[in-house]
């Protein structure tokens, strides 16, 4: 049973439940959707079609299919924990101070999204481990972290700008759309109908947001695919990708179809898992 979006939580103590719900939802989400995510990554990186990316992964075998899952597992579990936990820790005090509910949601979402960027090194390492170009250079997560150390702390945060531009605004969109949907859908007594509604609402919101912010992911991957070179202007990187792919905007969106499929499944699973874990811990 989902907890109503309008339910206010007491501020007498630290609200650990939201952090736990976010962590659990992310763990389930990553383990289910990682293979699809890796296929999309190959499409974004090489600008190839889904079939070609699938053949690449198939030829590499099962071991390499799940190679690099530890960074996103660590990053996403902590990231969603921060996303939901920090959001409520910021939003609720603002509401109690009389701040407009929508302003409170926006501020909570922006702060949580920006805080998530602290975990960017995991996303950085995942990018390198997912690229076949670096299969022989970086053995595993720990080895990659150690290898990047010689370039300085800034190397772990290569591509920070597109991540900040993505995280905050996408969190704003997610929390506002999610609560608007929850407040407008009649609550059913049927567990199956409620679960289906949670999945569909989360999935559709995820598809919408992933399409809107897709170019930022292209920009981020193009920047993070490089190691030890001079840092680049994010806009220049996107323009370069645009030119390399024939000067057509639609090629920037290469892989967006599979990305929508992944987002539909990923956000649907995440939203459903979150609601069920929340009903258990509260």
pLDDT tens for 32-49 read 888 888 888 788 778 888
Q: Are 270 and 202 in contact (CB under 8 A)?
A: yes
Residue 185 has a CB neighbour count (10 Å cut-off) of 14
pLDDT of residue 12: 52
Quote the pLDDT of residue 6: 43
Per-residue pLDDT averaged across 112-139, rounded? 90
pLDDT of residue 191: 87
Q: How many other C-beta atoms can be found within 10 angstroms of the C-beta atom of residue 125?
A: 27
> 13 falls in which pLDDT band (50, 70, 90)?
low
Q: Are 2 and 273 in contact (CB under 8 A)?
A: no
Distance CA 123, CA 117 (A): 9
Count Cβ atoms within 10 A of the Cβ of residue 270 and give its class: 0-12 exposed, 13-18 middle, 19 or more buried.
buried
% of the chain exceeding 90 in pLDDT: 53
d(CA 24, CA 158): 28
Question: Would you say domain 16-281 falls under CATH 1.50.40.10?
Answer: yes
**Cβ atoms 117, 160 nearer than 8 A:** yes
- What per-residue confidence (pLDDT) applies to 236? 92
For the stretch 128-165, pLDDT in tens is 988 888 888 998 889 999 999 999 999 999 999 999 99
Res. 8: pLDDT tops 50 = no
> In the structure encoding, which two tokens stand for residue 125, read together?
């390492």
CA pair distance 26, 29, nearest whole angstrom: 5
Tokens of 185: 């859908």
Q: Which is more confident, 26 or 262?
A: 26
Strand segments, DSSP code E, in the chain are none
For the chain, domain boundaries: 16-281
- Compute φ and ψ for 7, nearest 5 degrees: -70, 120
Mean pLDDT of 94-112: 95
Model-level pTM greater than 0.85?
no
In degrees, to the nearest 5, what angle opens at C-alpha 65 toward C-alphas 60 and 68?
Answer: 120
**What Å distances lie between residue 226 and 127, 133, 158, 232, 253, CA to CA?**
10, 11, 9, 10, 21
Distance CA 18, CA 20 (A): 5
72, pLDDT greater than 60: yes
User: In 47-100, which ranges are continuous DSSP H helix?
Assistant: 50-60, 62-65, 70-96
Residue 207 has pLDDT above 60, yes or no: yes
User: Quick one: pLDDT band at residue 3, thresholds 50, 70, 90?
Assistant: very low
* Per-residue pLDDT, 55: 92
How far CA 278 is from CA of 4, 70, 171, in Å, comes to: 11, 25, 19
The Cα angle at residue 203 between residues 213 and 221, in degrees rounded to 5: 30
Residues in contact with 137: Cβ distance below 8 Å, sequence separation at least 6, in sequence order: 147
């Amino acid at each position: 049973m989902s907890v109503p979006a309008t339910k206010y939580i007491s501020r007498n103590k630290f609200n650990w439940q939201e952090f736990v719900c976010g962590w659990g939802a992310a763990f389930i989400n990553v383990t289910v959707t990682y293979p699809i995510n890796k296929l999309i990554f190959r499409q974004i990186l090489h600008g190839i079609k889904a079939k070609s990316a699938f053949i690449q992964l198939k030829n590499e075998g099962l071991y390499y299919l799940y190679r690099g899952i530890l960074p996103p597992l660590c990053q996403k579990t902590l990231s969603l924990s921060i996303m939901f936990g920090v959001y409520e820790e910021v939003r609720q005090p603002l509401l109690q101070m009389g701040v407009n509910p929508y302003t409170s949601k926006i501020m909570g979402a922006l702060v949580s999204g920006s805080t998530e960027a602290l975990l960017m090194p995991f996303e950085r390492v995942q990018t390198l481990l997912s690229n076949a170009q670096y299969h022989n250079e970086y053995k595993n997560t720990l080895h990659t972290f150690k290898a990047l150390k010689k370039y300085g702390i800034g190397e772990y945060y290569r591509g920070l700008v597109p991540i900040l531009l993505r995280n905050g605004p996408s969190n704003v969109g997610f929390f506002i759309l999610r609560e608007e949907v929850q407040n407008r859908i009649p609550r059913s007594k049927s567990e199956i109908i409620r679960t289906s509604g949670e999945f569909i609402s989360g999935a559709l919101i995820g598809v919408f947001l992933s399409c809107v912010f897709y170019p930022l992911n292209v920009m981020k991957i193009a920047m993070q695919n490089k190691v030890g070179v001079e840092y680049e202007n994010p806009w220049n990187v996107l323009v370069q990708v645009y030119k390399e792919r024939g000067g057509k905007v639609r090629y920037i969106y290469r892989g967006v179809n599979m990305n929508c499929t992944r987002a539909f499944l990923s956000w649907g699973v995440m939203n459903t898992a979150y609601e069920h874990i929340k009903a258990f811990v509260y």
